[in-house]
Amino acid sequence: MKTKRFIRLLFNANKTYDRQVIAGVGRYLNTAQCNWEIFLEDDFRTQQTSLKQWQGDGLIADLDDPYIEHHIARLNVPVVGIGGSYACAEHYPNVPYVATDNRQVIMLAFEHLKSRGLEHFAFYGIPRDPHYRWANEREKAFATVTQQEGFASHIFHGHIIDSQNWPIAQQQLCRWLEELPKPIGIIAVTDSRARHLLQACDELSLMVPERIAIVGIDDEEVARYLTRTSLSSVQQGCQEMGYRAAELLDKLLASKSLTASPSRILIPPLTIHARQSSDFQALNDPYVIQAMHYIRQHACHGIKTEQVLDYIGLSRSNLEARFKLEQGQSIHQTIHHFKLQQACQLLRTTDISIAQIAYYCGYPSIQYMYAVFKKNFNLTPKKYRNRESILTSSDVL
């Protein structure tokens, strides 16, 4: 029987990133059948004052926190670190380390925006601070990537936001957004910062994604639900990071050595989840751009072509001709496309009843929605949901 090991995890599980890393550690434990007893604080947050007194066999720690990095150096136990990658090799901790590849994270977001036809790019980061080294690295990666690709870059740090400075911070963000060339793609250093961008664009009546396309990082579920415009976001390989970190620690414990040369593993992002905030189309006609934004916002409210015409103030024949030229389809077909797109997303990503989805997407009845799905997919909404669920499960496996 394997010797029982007492392992401490030093993470703040109020963040999606840390929760996914912890899940990856758990996946390794179940796969390798480790006889580990895991210690986590009751509130899943690292209590830094207790580090000096802790005794055990090993640690897996988030070393993006410089305080944690400083104190684990004094512990005489095997340690595996997790955190962001660094452009400069000398900045890595002197322990086995599993990192999210910040350059690849930024590259994935940049390539996505570039593929949509955008030619201007910006980055919304965080003020430089030792506690946000990962954010600084993402900013440097953005500057490097845009320069290598031959594009000018626009960078804004803003404030570390709290309840007191929130109004001033948003005013400054709004001023920055107004000064940017348009259309533009913005990469936010986190989903939280991306949400600030969406709110500022709403305040300024800047059309997203027609004038400003936005991509966040982390695919944070909470951030997605707090914005009316669904947020595109890069999903990092956090579970893989946790799995590889646990695997490294297991090997260290088996070797009974603290002096082995530190391993360094870079984990690329899993994917980018493209949603409405980055669904930019390179359109030239200002009337079509305005109409497209109106349709995005109101397609699921049951609008008809007449409401779009009233909003734009053009005759039907004029606007329809413009749509045919830019979109290759009618205003009605465009409305239908956005309603169907939203229905498909809700079927894929929620367990909301089909009747509710039909209502939320502006279909006059559930029977009408069934007819639309049969026509477009030769599937009922239920079978479409089951098919997507099977595909997602196979991707995970």
Separation CA 139–CA 145 (nearest Å): 10
Within this chain, do residues 167 and 195 fall inside the same structural domain, yes or no?
Answer: yes
Within this chain, do residues 141 and 202 fall inside the same structural domain, yes or no?
Answer: yes
In sequence order, the 6+-apart residues with CB closer than 8 A to the CB of 357 are: 343, 346, 347, 350, 369, 381
Within this chain, do residues 328 and 362 fall inside the same structural domain, yes or no?
Answer: yes
Separation CA 9–CA 241 (nearest Å): 13
pLDDT in tens, the chain (397 residues): 567 899 999 888 777 888 899 999 999 999 998 899 998 876 656 555 566 666 788 999 999 888 888 878 777 888 999 999 999 999 999 899 999 999 999 999 999 999 999 999 999 999 988 889 999 999 999 999 999 999 999 999 998 888 888 899 999 999 999 999 999 999 999 999 999 999 999 999 999 999 999 999 999 877 666 777 889 999 999 999 999 999 999 999 988 765 556 789 999 999 999 999 999 987 889 899 899 989 988 999 989 999 999 999 999 999 999 999 988 999 999 999 999 999 998 998 888 999 999 999 999 999 999 999 999 999 999 999 988 876 654 444 4
Q: How far is CA 316 from the centre of its chain?
A: 39
Residue 18 lies in a domain: yes
- Per-residue confidence (pLDDT) for residue 227, from 0 to 100: 75
CATH number for 144 = 3.40.50.2300
Q: How many structural domains does the chain have? A: 3
Within this chain, do residues 108 and 14 fall inside the same structural domain, yes or no?
Answer: no
Within this chain, do residues 45 and 83 fall inside the same structural domain, yes or no?
Answer: yes
Q: What is the dihedral of CA 218, 219, 223, 226, to 10 degrees?
A: 160
Residue 44 lies in a domain: yes
Residue 224 lies in a domain: yes
Within this chain, do residues 63 and 116 fall inside the same structural domain, yes or no?
Answer: no
Sign of torsion over alpha carbons 326, 329, 335, 337: negative
Range(s) of the domain holding residue 127: 102-236+273-278
Residue 397 lies in a domain: no
Within this chain, do residues 127 and 229 fall inside the same structural domain, yes or no?
Answer: yes
Within this chain, do residues 128 and 32 fall inside the same structural domain, yes or no?
Answer: no
Nearest to 112 by CA among 3, 270, 249, 271: 271
Separation CA 138–CA 125 (nearest Å): 8
Within this chain, do residues 33 and 153 fall inside the same structural domain, yes or no?
Answer: no
Separation CA 136–CA 107 (nearest Å): 15
**Of the residues 228, 260, 278, which one is the last residue of a structural domain?**
278
Separation CA 321–CA 21 (nearest Å): 52
Within this chain, do residues 54 and 157 fall inside the same structural domain, yes or no?
Answer: no
Within this chain, do residues 90 and 162 fall inside the same structural domain, yes or no?
Answer: no
Residue 259 lies in a domain: yes
**Exposed e or buried b per residue across 119-146, where buried means at least 16 C-beta atoms within 10 angstroms of its C-beta:** ebbbbbbbeeeeebbbbbbbbbbbeebb
Within this chain, do residues 178 and 213 fall inside the same structural domain, yes or no?
Answer: yes
Residue 396 lies in a domain: no
CATH number for 358 = 1.10.10.60
- Model pTM score: 0.83
Q: Sheet of 153-156: strands edge to edge?
A: 153-156, 121-124, 184-188, 212-217, 232-235, 271-273
Indicate the burial class of 322 (C-beta count within 10 angstroms; 0-12, 13-18, 19 or more).
buried
In sequence order, the 6+-apart residues with CB closer than 8 A to the CB of 372 are: 336, 340, 343, 363
Contact 219, 233 (CB under 8 A): yes
Contact 16, 192 (CB under 8 A): no
DSSP one-letter code for 266:
E
